[in-house]
Chains A and B, each alone.
Chain A
């Protein structure tokens, strides 16, 4: 497939995230790929150890991605769900299975550069086997108009001794109305890192994210880090949920949100629950503005207060989770 076969504005929109478009077009780069243009499958490319199958349905697709046992890949698997229309409905039903002893990364791009009320829904199931190292990163861009209505739901099972990292990034453009639900079930000795970042920039933006980890296996560990900023009427609500339901499991939820400009609302609701007396679950949440000292330090370099705030938001939304 040539890059000319795929809508140029979708490809360009990803460059803002430093994503090299050639890496995910079939025929380019080394990784496996599934490329979607609205509700049409534009290309599938498989590599050894990765099986990708897709079927078109009236408003979207059903897709299976299977990572065969023992597969270890340096190159990420690219899933690109692009739409260059202003309106319409896209529904994705992915099933992702990582068999035992696999080590892969999935990079998903949901790019809707002309969105002006379009609807994107996803209902995903993920099964991560034993002894896996699995990273799922999803980057969203909903254009600069009124954004999209985005409602993905993901159920993720993480097997024994596996490490699962989830990165969700919605920090550029106009998000629109976003409702995201992520449920992660962590088995024995598994490690979960979930890193969610969102930026509501105007009163067109309403973002609600619920990120839940259920520690169901002995010695399972997790960190949820949710970072958000709301500016000029934007609204962000983040629920970070962790349940400790197994011996010696350990979880932490952290929500940090910055509110800028009148009419903006940030809400953080860390929710923790333990049913095992040996489990340890904690949370912390902070809302408000950046410390004055940080602003002073940047202003002493010649930045205005607004420029300094933008730099701090940029930094906050780039921070990574370390467990």
Chain B
């Protein structure tokens, strides 16, 4: 496993409440692994805790990255080990150019321009239009997210955490983003995808369902999604849309069995 969470418990900043409760699962190197769950279930908290952001310190448990205990390492130390995070709403920093931003995390700065151009192409931004732009309000939400992805890819990390990359995007852009995720995977980078949308999650190899802070299941993604629907009581939605038209189909009997396990008919 590239990343392992062992009994990880994350409290609120005032320590009065637990957001993520004794979560244990692992992420295989080279995979796309989606964490799903309803709003407020603790998905983003997990992402921030893995990245090491202040305010998301473990109360209990450990985080291992490639066998190294990173639980008490700083953000910078984790990033230098090969972890990065692309934010749901990345900041707009007036005065910072796209090419400067992308170059920040690059380890090897030789042939800088070529590498930045190449990275912009991966995220489907025309280099001639975006190379010298500044990261300000003139970039749309989708463009800013692509620049963020480009900056993450340029670091050549081993693990990229994508915090709800689907938020605020239309379905055309969403489709494009899913293709970009496949490209990232081919670059031998592992993706941890935080999402609550089944369509974007369909690019995932594996998934983990977090429900009210608890770990429910980690498995191949369609099975995780099925369990998610069962927890939410969305049997008809599940039968009608999720897996009938998707790449993986379950027959009705299998769906019925999963729902029964959740105490639903």
The answer to the question of B263 belonging to the interface, with a C-beta cut-off of 8 Å to chain A, is no
* Interfacial chain B residues near A315, Cβ < 8 Å: 93-96
Query: Which B88-102 residues have C-beta < 8 A from chain A?
Result: 90-91, 93-96, 100
Interface Cβ pair total, 8 Å cutoff: 66
Docked-complex contact A303 and B76, CB < 8 angstroms: yes
The answer to the question of B84 belonging to the interface, with a C-beta cut-off of 8 Å to chain A, is yes
The answer to the question of A304 belonging to the interface, with a C-beta cut-off of 8 Å to chain B, is yes
Q: Which residue of B lies closest to A305 (CB)?
A: B76
User: How far is it, in angstroms, between the C-alpha of A251 and the C-alpha of B90 when the chains are bound?
Assistant: 31
Which stretch, A182-190, A210-218, A259-267, A289-297, touches the partner chain B? A289-297
Query: Which B3-20 residues have C-beta < 8 A from chain A?
Result: none
Q: Which residue of B lies closest to A292 (CB)?
A: B54
The answer to the question of B149 belonging to the interface, with a C-beta cut-off of 8 Å to chain A, is no
The answer to the question of B130 belonging to the interface, with a C-beta cut-off of 8 Å to chain A, is no
The answer to the question of B178 belonging to the interface, with a C-beta cut-off of 8 Å to chain A, is no
Docked-complex contact B75 and A300, CB < 8 angstroms: yes
Docked-complex contact B94 and A301, CB < 8 angstroms: no
Q: Which residue of A lies closest to B51 (CB)?
A: A300
Docked-complex contact A300 and B85, CB < 8 angstroms: yes
The answer to the question of B250 belonging to the interface, with a C-beta cut-off of 8 Å to chain A, is no
Most buried by B among A301, A316, A317: A301
Interface size class of B (residues with CB under 8 A): 20 to 34
Docked-complex contact B104 and A311, CB < 8 angstroms: yes
Most buried by A among B53, B96, B105: B96
Kindly provide the distance from the CB of B141 to the nearest chain A CB, expressed in whole angstroms.
Answer: 16
Instruction: Report if A302-B91 is in contact (Cβ < 8 Å); known contacts: A296-B53, A311-B96.
Output: no
Kindly provide the distance from the CB of A51 to the nearest chain B CB, expressed in whole angstroms.
Answer: 36
Query: Which B43-102 residues have C-beta < 8 A from chain A?
Result: 51, 53-54, 74-76, 79-80, 83-85, 87, 90-91, 93-96, 100
The answer to the question of A62 belonging to the interface, with a C-beta cut-off of 8 Å to chain B, is no
The listed residue (A291, A299, A317, A318) touching B75 by CB distance below 8 A is A299
Docked-complex contact B79 and A301, CB < 8 angstroms: yes
Nearest 3 A/B pairs, CB to CB: A301-B105, A319-B95, A315-B95
Docked-complex contact B151 and A301, CB < 8 angstroms: yes
User: How far is it, in angstroms, between the C-alpha of A297 and the C-alpha of B105 when the chains are bound?
Assistant: 11
The answer to the question of B255 belonging to the interface, with a C-beta cut-off of 8 Å to chain A, is no
Determine the main DSSP class of B at the interface with A: loop
The answer to the question of B162 belonging to the interface, with a C-beta cut-off of 8 Å to chain A, is no
A303-323 interface bits toward B, Cβ cutoff 8 Å, 1 = contact, 0 = none: 111000001101111111000
The answer to the question of A89 belonging to the interface, with a C-beta cut-off of 8 Å to chain B, is no
The answer to the question of A73 belonging to the interface, with a C-beta cut-off of 8 Å to chain B, is no
Could you list 22 A-B pairs, sorted by A, with CB under 8 Å? A292-B54, A293-B87, A297-B87, A299-B76, A300-B75, A300-B79, A301-B84, A301-B104, A301-B105, A302-B79, A302-B80, A302-B155, A304-B76, A311-B96, A314-B95, A315-B94, A315-B95, A315-B96, A318-B95, A319-B94, A319-B95, A319-B134
The answer to the question of A298 belonging to the interface, with a C-beta cut-off of 8 Å to chain B, is yes
The listed residue (A297, A312, A318, A319) touching B90 by CB distance below 8 A is A297
Docked-complex contact A294 and B79, CB < 8 angstroms: no
Kindly provide the distance from the CB of B163 to the nearest chain A CB, expressed in whole angstroms.
Answer: 11
User: How far is it, in angstroms, between the C-alpha of A300 and the C-alpha of B56 when the chains are bound?
Assistant: 15
Kindly provide the distance from the CB of B44 to the nearest chain A CB, expressed in whole angstroms.
Answer: 13
* Interfacial chain B residues near A319, Cβ < 8 Å: 94-95, 134, 136
Most buried by A among B76, B79, B105, B155: B76
Kindly provide the distance from the CB of B77 to the nearest chain A CB, expressed in whole angstroms.
Answer: 9
User: How far is it, in angstroms, between the C-alpha of A294 and the C-alpha of B75 when the chains are bound?
Assistant: 13
Docked-complex contact B91 and A293, CB < 8 angstroms: yes
Kindly provide the distance from the CB of A313 to the nearest chain B CB, expressed in whole angstroms.
Answer: 10
User: How far is it, in angstroms, between the C-alpha of A120 and the C-alpha of B136 when the chains are bound?
Assistant: 37
Most buried by A among B83, B87, B91, B105: B91
Kindly provide the distance from the CB of A162 to the nearest chain B CB, expressed in whole angstroms.
Answer: 26
Query: Which B115-150 residues have C-beta < 8 A from chain A?
Result: 134, 136
